[in-house]
A and B are shown apart, each in its own frame.
Chain A
Amino acid sequence: MSLAAIFTVAISLSLVGSALLIKQGVSTATAEWKGNVQLLVFLQPKISPTEFTAVKDQLRQLPAVKSFSYVPRAQAYADFRRLLANQPDLVNAVPESAVPTFLRVSLVNPAETRAVAAIFQGQPGVDTVNDNFSAINTITTVSNVAQTVILAIAVILLVSAAVLILNVIRVAIFSRRREVAVMRLVGATNSFIQIPFMLEGLVQGLIGALVATGVVILVKSFIGYAISHFKMHLLQGFVLTSHNLIDTIAVIVVAGVVVGTLGSTIAVRRFLSA
């Protein structure tokens, strides 16, 4: 038994598990976000009724537009106060009359956001067009990069864990070389000689996996706590089910057993061959 080997397995599998949790959370969240891509067409304060009707007619005619609704000033101001509730100074500095009215537009296909935005940008009576699509894209890209980096580190650590286990088993074989020689001499079968060493590797991988399981459970509850506590608006869709957790734990346990068995099998093959 080696603490170093168990520790390395535990750390690398914790990373694997966390990366998997993030991946699952992000994919649920982006599915949610993508259905929620919205265009906000902000209107100039002095928009004329003709200009306003022209914009609405155009929205009605565009096949890319699923639906839209007008947000009057009172509601826009209420939304503004609610969203920035944790910044009272800013809220109090902005009078209701300074908040622009806007049209909230839902699209059939989020990929068309840019094209639709371009149509309304610069229309008479339209101030600016905002979309939250690029923000979602940024989050997806960042999380993809983060997952790749975490998984790469985890794989390197897993390989070193296998090498550490290989060495532990090699030392175990060396320290029992007299017994092994006698066993061979009197006709013990290869499996009888090898299985205890293989089991030792497997058990170390398994213990590491159990430690990592604990870490991953902590990570999951931390993520849930962080999202609800800090009311991160865009992360509301980041939901981790217990199903996600069970899948992740299954991967961790299998990976731990594989790493432990692999390390000890190589050691047995190389240092215990007849």
Chain B
Amino acid sequence: MIKFENVSKSYSKGSPAVKDVSFEIDRGEFVFLIGASGSGKTTLIRLMVREEKPDEGTIWVAGKNLVTMPSWKVPHFRRNVGVIFQDFRLLPNKTVAQNVAFALQVIGKPNRFIATQVPQILRLVGLEDKMDRFPHQLSGGEQQRVAIARAFVNRPLILLADEPTGNLDPETSWGVMNLLERINRTGTAVVMATHDVGIVDSMRRRVIEIDDGRLSRDQVRGVYGLGV
């Protein structure tokens, strides 16, 4: 589903952010991406959606070679990959339902399809009674659920999450984690960059650790710290 082969990437200024990284993630896996601040987690996620191109190596996502993909094909490729962020990135002047519907409208889905999909996905994330609220009328956890609904409404094969619980308190974080786990159980691969020790340790999923741009650990059923 996702395959990195000897991938290196450096931004125009500064030392390389990702150095010679190789790994493979299968269909339906749940993977934590951990590492110190600035180690390159966000860069890896940006590489997975072709927001950046690697300097070296090959990247395969959803059966597509992202290195050779012409830029006009990128939009259609992105419809297979949902992404959520620490800061939610909702549109403040649209309601919950409109935020989710917007994601379908701009890829040309018919209105009738949108009208059935939006309430269904909002029920899945538990926000069916808050469809007409604006983002500022929601808690952080609820806003992240809207973002997840928007990322998942197109039923992508892959969901990428960059510190999705970074702005949330532990209890709310668990609500979001349960939701991500349910999404994973539908067969969608979930890749989540995080600093949250508690979540990584108790979920016991695959852990890929990055240390200063290099892959330093790839462990099935891992924990956050070494030697536990």
Interface residues of A (CB under 8 A from B): 178-179, 181-190, 192-193, 274
Contacts and interface: CB of A to CB of B under 8 A. Distances in A.
B102 A182 contact: yes
A193 to B, nearest CB: 8
Interface stretch (B23-31, B77-85, B121-129, B166-174): B77-85
B71 interface: yes
B79 A186 contact: yes
Contacts of B74: 274
B89 A187 contact: no
Contacts of B72: 190
Interface in B132-183: 150-151, 154
Contacts of B13: none
Interface in B89-106: 89, 91-92, 102-103, 106
A183 B79 CA distance: 11
Interface range for B: 20 to 34
Given A186-B79, A187-B77, A187-B79, 7 more contacts: A178-B91, A182-B102, A184-B78, A185-B89, A186-B107, A188-B107, A189-B75
B106 A192 contact: yes
A179 B91 contact: yes
Contact of B71 (A179, A185, A186, A274): A274
Contacts of B77: 187
Given A274-B71, A274-B74, A186 B106 contact: yes
Contacts of B102: 179, 182
A183 B105 CA distance: 10
8 contacts: A182-B89, A182-B103, A183-B106, A185-B83, A186-B103, A188-B75, A192-B108, A274-B74
A184 B89 CA distance: 12
- Highest count of chain B CB atoms <10 Å: which of A184, A188, A274: A188
A196 B72 CA distance: 18
B76 interface: yes
Contacts of B78: 184-187
A190 to B, nearest CB: 7
A232 to B, nearest CB: 61
A186 B80 CA distance: 9
A26 B107 CA distance: 56
Interface in B56-85: 71-72, 74-79, 83
Contacts of B150: 182, 186
Contact of B91 (A182, A189, A190, A274): A182
A145 B144 CA distance: 68
A178 B79 CA distance: 18
Nearest to B102: A182
Contacts of B75: 184, 187-190
Interface in B166-219: none
**Top 4 nearest A-B pairs by Cβ distance?**
A187-B78, A188-B106, A187-B79, A186-B103
Nearest to B71: A274
A181 B92 CA distance: 13
A21 B78 CA distance: 54
A183 B108 CA distance: 11
Contacts of B89: 178, 181-182, 185
Nearest to B105: A188
A187 B71 contact: no
Contacts of B108: 192
Contacts of A185: 78, 83, 89
A178 B91 CA distance: 7
Nearest to B72: A190
A247 B75 CA distance: 43
A164 to B, nearest CB: 27
